[in-house]
Amino acid sequence: MKDTFILNLVHRPELNPEYAEKTAGGGKGLEDESIDIFKLQQRLAHENGLKTTIQMTYSSLFSQYVVDLAKSDHQKYGDEIGLSLLGLPCRQFNEKYRTKDFCIWMFSLEDRKRIIDDVFGKFFECFGFWPESTGSYYLDAQSIAYIEERYPSVKCAVATCWEEGPKAYHTCNNSWYTLMDGGPWNPWIPSTCNTHVPAKGPEDDSHIVAIPHLSRDLIACFDGNGSNFGTHPQNVLRGMVYEGDQYPYLFNLIDQYRHMGKYNGGYSYNMMFVGPGWLNKKGRWEAPYSLLEKSYSDAMAYYGNLKKEGKLCDMGMSEFASWFRENRLYSSEAFLWKDILYGSEKSHFWYSSPSMRCCLDMNQGGAMIDLRPYESKLVRECGIGTSHVQEVSYPFLIQANYRAGYFTHYAGEGTVKSCTVSYGGVKADMCLCRTKAVLRSEDGQRVLELDPVQFKLGELVADIQSVFYFREGSNEVKTVRKVLRTSIPDAKVCITEYMTACYGTTEYPEPMDGIKLIAGDKTLDYQYKCRTVRAVGCCTAVVPQVECKVSMHASEGDECFVKEGYAFSPMFTLGVVRNAGQGEVFESWLKLEKAN
């Protein structure tokens, strides 16, 4: 299936929508309204020729009316009937579990298993078959393993919300605990060790295909509230990205996702999943109901027209899982996302593979501004009874917004991978060179070629081009800095390829004790003493807290160094150094390994 843009459209009949209950006050009226909203969503989809996945909620399984609706739509329109682990709260749930918790990954493992059995059992009782798809905002590896063991019919699950972590928490006045940064933005097969990490092969395949909750803007959500910029029409209204009743941004977002096919073997994907609380009659914040309804209707019409034009293939979640296993399996995914909102001409390169997830910013000369070491395959148990009750983000080594990037106040350094170029005592950082890039696939690797940039270093002008290589199946990133021209023919510039990193999942610093920094055959135990060690060969940091060994190396004989941070700058830096003149290149590699 070449050039396939696949849509998973998911609706859930939620009788006590988490948002609406608080504002509308709950009760019978709310239940009726919720069912009406579900019916409206279904109608708009079907009128536009789209099939849906109906994810039954626990509460809806107690409504024969909704069960019959789902059966009828399944028969008439081919909608898949799946089972959501969202929408747990209802009278029956509250009486049985005596809690207000509603996020499946936050329950103790024992309760998670009990709830999963209860919900799946109730589903079977209603429909006489087991569901093939499930999901939540986040579905942890232990829950997936349990579901796969007990209910092997499940092929697909909504498993994370992309970059819904500290930013979403902050946006919700520090009261919305979906702390789950660090996963892939598009569907993947999760590893058995950690949901965020794509499986390498059959040995760590969790047996489901994971899909993200919504398809999100890969620039806007990196710095802003993830819930404003995704394939969720009412989220776009929430972000005030509209004027009057016009929101072309939503369609630009969908179209840019379609464009991903060019770089991923023709495959591109969208997920839309609007809970009924977003379409309630009282309106949602500033948006009146009429606008909420119109935006959903317009989105359905847009997808519907794409389908009519043969540009979209709508699938149920389990149908998609089968397609994904046949066509994508363990492949990496890459894209050069362009700003479609702020008018900045900024672009971010995103890459996700079983070894890593990373982001390079062309507005900072291709600096790496996010790095998640999937190679560590970090096992993190979550929920009540563990040390990660709510926090399920996959840790970063680099996150330039949470832990500063190039720019810091007054002192210290921030997390970023870039290079400096110096000549005659004048030094400049590539982070200050705004440029653009072209992404292409060749010989089993993604090649990101940046437009050359110019350094003015005193009397010398040097044109330098950066190229990054991401080989399929590799745990390394190759960086090439080409010195295209120097204004003084025999001059050599000193290029220092460096990575300043730490570890964490939030904006706040973590203890650095236990980290080992190794340059050549010399080792530093991290003690916040601001020391630097130089050697020849490879430089490495072993970060036991995230079971990761990260190293940089260039050619044999090149100088390398490690730099320890200090209390006001709790970072470490790895670097490799080379002098290069006109026509010469400096190749270096960043490598990620698991450290036990």
Partner 1 sequence: MAQAGKGKLNYRCPSCFMRDIDIDMFYDEDKKEYYCIRCCYHGSEEDVLQKNQMARFRYKSMLKRFDFDDDGQKERK
Size of the site for partner 1 (CB under 8 A): 39
Contact by Cβ (8 Å): 106, 384: yes
Question: Contact letters (x/-) for partner 1, 426-445, by CB under 8 A?
Answer: ----------x-x-------
Q: In the Cβ-directed half-sphere of 542, how many Cα atoms lie within 13 Å?
A: 11
Q: Choose, by CB under 8 A, the member of 91, 282, 311, 522 that binds partner 1.
A: 282
Q: Which stretch binds partner 1 (CB under 8 A): 139-147, 284-292, 455-463, 538-546?
A: 284-292
Residue 240 binding partner 1, by CB under 8 A: yes
Question: Contact letters (x/-) for partner 1, 177-216, by CB under 8 A?
Answer: ----------------------------------------
What's the closest the beta carbon of residue 285 comes to partner 1, in angstroms?
5
What's the closest the beta carbon of residue 396 comes to partner 1, in angstroms?
20
Question: Contact letters (x/-) for partner 1, 309-348, by CB under 8 A?
Answer: -----------------------------xxxxxxx--x-
CA distance 191 to 352: 13
For residue 559, give the 3-state DSSP assignment: strand
Please give the helix or strand (H or E) that residue 28 lies within, else none.
helix 28-47
Helices (H), 272-374: 289-308, 317-327
- Cα torsion 317, 320, 324, 326 to 10°: value is 130
Residue 248 binding partner 1, by CB under 8 A: yes
Largest Cα separation within the chain, whole Å, is: 82
- Collect all residues with Cβ–Cβ distance below 8 Å to 478 and sequence separation of at least 6: 468, 469, 471, 587, 588, 589
Q: Which stretch binds partner 1 (CB under 8 A): 256-264, 394-402, 545-553, 567-575?
A: 256-264
What's the closest the beta carbon of residue 31 comes to partner 1, in angstroms?
21
Residues 145-184 that bind partner 1 (CB under 8 A): 167, 170-173
For residue 463, give the 3-state DSSP assignment: strand
CA distance 529 to 567: 8
Residue 249 binding partner 1, by CB under 8 A: yes
Q: Choose, by CB under 8 A, the member of 255, 298, 510, 584 that binds partner 1.
A: 255
What's the closest the beta carbon of residue 176 comes to partner 1, in angstroms?
9
What's the closest the beta carbon of residue 336 comes to partner 1, in angstroms?
9
Question: Using CB atoms within 10 A of its CB, is residue 361 exposed (0-12), middle (13-18) or buried (19+)?
Answer: buried
CA distance 61 to 44: 23
Q: How many CB atoms lie within 10 A of CB 342?
A: 11
Residue 286 binding partner 1, by CB under 8 A: yes
Q: Strands, DSSP E only, in 37-119?
A: 53-56, 80-83
Please give the helix or strand (H or E) that residue 466 lies within, else none.
strand 460-471
Q: Choose, by CB under 8 A, the member of 28, 76, 100, 246 that binds partner 1.
A: 246
What's the closest the beta carbon of residue 493 comes to partner 1, in angstroms?
30
What's the closest the beta carbon of residue 252 comes to partner 1, in angstroms?
5
Q: Which stretch binds partner 1 (CB under 8 A): 241-249, 320-328, 517-525, 580-588?
A: 241-249
Site residues for partner 1 per CB under 8 A: 23, 167, 170-173, 224-225, 238, 240-243, 246, 248-249, 251-252, 255-256, 258-259, 262, 282-286, 288, 338-344, 347, 436, 438
